[in-house]
Structure 1
Amino acid sequence: MLEVKDLEVSYGKIIAVKGISFSVDEGEVVTLIGTNGAGKTTTLRTISGLLRPSGGEIRFRGERIDGTAAHQIVGMGLAHSPEGRRIFPRMTVEENLLLGAFGRRDKEVPKDLQAAYELFPILGERSKQPAGTFSGGEQQMLAMGRAMLSRPKLLMLDEPSMGLSPIMMKRIMATVKTLQSQGTTILLVEQNARAALKLASKGYVLEVGKIVTEGTGQELLTSDEVRKAYLGED
């Protein structure tokens, strides 16, 4: 579904992503893990069209999309729930959700809105409330629900558990699994490497803009190198 080949991304003279290649097959959860500054968020922002690559190519469902405008990429079925949620605090929960469907012209939006409320009941219960009054975990649910309103084939999630309590983190990870079971392919960037690898079909480890290790989620969970560097084990 997604193929990234020899991707390079630069900020001026600084090369943040240094020729990485990876793929995401339909129905998979694939995770990118690594320390802060490894290039994970930059990679997602480039795939979604918010940044322009300085080299390499990106193909989504067989079509090359590097250089395609971000709103057109969303329309093709690739959605991005960004780091930090980026909700609109003064708008209501429902208004935030409907922004996810802004580019749609079909008549299924009310149905998908109801599906978001079923997936995250708190959003339906407080749909007329300003989104800025939500807790961090509730805002994360809203950000994910908003992305789902675009009806993505592939959903990219950037640090969905950042700043959340352990209980809320487990709820968000369970939701990722639910979305996969409903047919959504997931590309996940997540600070909790253990939780991400438990969900993932495969994973890639980034260090300073390069992929240094890759394998199935289970292989990376049992890798001595990964356990010491990212799972806090000796």
Structure 2
Amino acid sequence: MLSAEDLNVFYGSIHAVKGVSFDVNEGEIVTLIGANGAGKSTTLNTIAGLLHSKTGSVTFMGENLGKIPPHKIVSRGMALVPEGRRVFLQMSVQDNLEMGAYTQKSAGIAGDIEKVYEQFPRLKERRRQVAGTLSGGEQQMLAMGRALMSHPKLLMLDEPSMGLAPLLVEQIFEIIQRLNKAGSTILLVEQNAQMALSIAHRGYVLETGKIVTTGPSGELLASPAIKKAYLGG
């Protein structure tokens, strides 16, 4: 479904992503793990078209995304839940969800909102509430629900557990698994390597902008080097 080839991304003179290549197959949960500053979010933002690689290519559903602006990438079937959630704080929950549907025909939007409320019952309870007054966990649910409004074939999640209490982290990861079982392909960037590998099919480990290890999640979880570096073992 997604293929990234030889991505090299710079912030000025800083070489943040160095020759990164990976792929995501339909129906998978694939995770990119690594320490803070390893290049995970930069890679995700490059896939989404928010940053540009000096070399290589991003191919999604057989189409090269090189010259396509980010808002058009969304209409191709890719959605990003950004780091820090980035919900519209002054708008209601319902308005945030409607904003996520800007690529859709208006006739189906009400039904799509109801589907999001089925996935996230807490959002339904707070549908008229201003998003800025929601808890961190509720804002994360809202950011995910807003992304689902665009009917993504590929859902990309950037640090969904950041700043959340352990119980809420478990809830968010259960929701990610549920979305995957319902048909969403997921690319997950996550500092909580243990949680990410426990739900993913495959993982890629980034260190200082390079992929240093890849494999099935079970293998990575069992690897002494990965345990030592990322799992506190």
Quickly name the TM-score band, shorter chain normalised. over 0.9
SS at match of 2:5: strand
- State the match for 1:182 in structure 2: 182
Q: State the distance in 2 between where 1:103 and 1:51 align.
A: 21
Q: State the distance in 2 between where 1:155 and 1:44 align.
A: 11
- State the match for 1:115 in structure 2: 115
Read off the aligned partner of 1:82 and give its amino acid letter: P
List aligned pairs for 1:143-154, cutoff 5 A.
143-154=143-154
Residue 67 of structure 1 and its aligned partner are, at CA, apart by 2.8
- State the match for 1:204 in structure 2: 204
Aligned alpha-carbon RMSD (Å): 0.8
Which deviates more from structure 2 when the two are superposed, residues 106-115 or residues 168-177? 106-115
Which deviates more from structure 2 when the two are superposed, residues 166-175 or residues 104-113? 104-113
- State the match for 1:219 in structure 2: 219
- Structure 1 gap segments, 5+ residues each: none
Residue 66 of structure 1 and its aligned partner are, at CA, apart by 2.3
List aligned pairs for 1:35-54, cutoff 5 A.
35-54=35-54
1:160 is the counterpart of 2:138: no
SS at match of 1:55: coil
Q: State the distance in 2 between where 1:196 and 1:67 align.
A: 31
Read off the aligned partner of 2:225 and give its amino acid letter: E
- State the match for 1:124 in structure 2: 124
Residue 216 of structure 1 and its aligned partner are, at CA, apart by 0.4
Residue 54 of structure 1 and its aligned partner are, at CA, apart by 1.1
* Per-residue CA distance 1:60-93 (angstroms, 9 max, x = gap): 0110002310000000000000000001111000
**What is the aligned residue count?**
233
Q: State the distance in 1 between where 2:106 and 2:98 align.
A: 13
Residue 195 of structure 1 and its aligned partner are, at CA, apart by 0.7
- State the match for 1:61 in structure 2: 61
Read off the aligned partner of 1:49 and give its amino acid letter: G
- State the match for 2:79 in structure 1: 79
Q: State the distance in 2 between where 1:67 and 1:207 align.
A: 28
Q: Are the aligned partners of 1:92 and 1:129 in contact in 2 as well (CA < 8 Å)?
A: yes
Q: State the distance in 2 between where 1:29 and 1:103 align.
A: 24
Residue 168 of structure 1 and its aligned partner are, at CA, apart by 0.3
Residue 45 of structure 1 and its aligned partner are, at CA, apart by 0.5
Identity rate, percent? 57
- State the match for 1:5 in structure 2: 5
Read off the aligned partner of 2:42 and give its amino acid letter: T
- Output the TM-score relative to the length of structure 2: 0.99
- Structure 2 gap segments, 5+ residues each: none
Read off the aligned partner of 1:213 and give its amino acid letter: T
- Output the TM-score relative to the length of structure 1: 0.98
